Structure 1
Amino acid sequence: VSVCLSIGTLGEDVSAINAVIDEVIENHILVVIAAGNKGIEGSKPFNKLGMNKNAIVVGAINDKDQTTNLMFLDFL
């Protein structure tokens, strides 16, 4: 069983959501969170949920080690 989260939380307080995430993980459920891909040049580089130390956080880079927005529609 897993939970995947990709919700924008750049400026919001996420302590309540993080508490739920931690409880879910304590019940042996895998939680994967999107990093946000704003990069170090962005004004708010990470999705705040991506700072949860218990979850798996994923992002994306291109072949030039630059953050990128990936959207693949041709897999259908």
Structure 2
Amino acid sequence: MMQEHIFERLAREKGITVEEMRAIISARIEKGWNDEDPVKREQWRKIPCAGEMPTPEEWLRYVVEKINSDGKSDLLRRYINW
């Protein structure tokens, strides 16, 4: 059985399409990227990305790696039940 991608699961739980879910995440990334607070802006700019701004996939990869490196991988197991 193929595992569901996290964006598919979030979209299903919200009753929206995957494209709509990606658009929501992209809008949040753009908002953070352009935040007026320089400290918040700098936090967003730590996310490695190939383009001008992180994609939803690049953001997700960064978040998962950050959670794991902070020793909080139990959060992933607790909230994401595959």
More helix by share: 2
More strand by share: 1
TM-score, length basis structure 1: 0.30
TM-score, length basis structure 2: 0.29
Highest relative contact order (Cα 8 Å, sep 6+), 1 or 2? 1
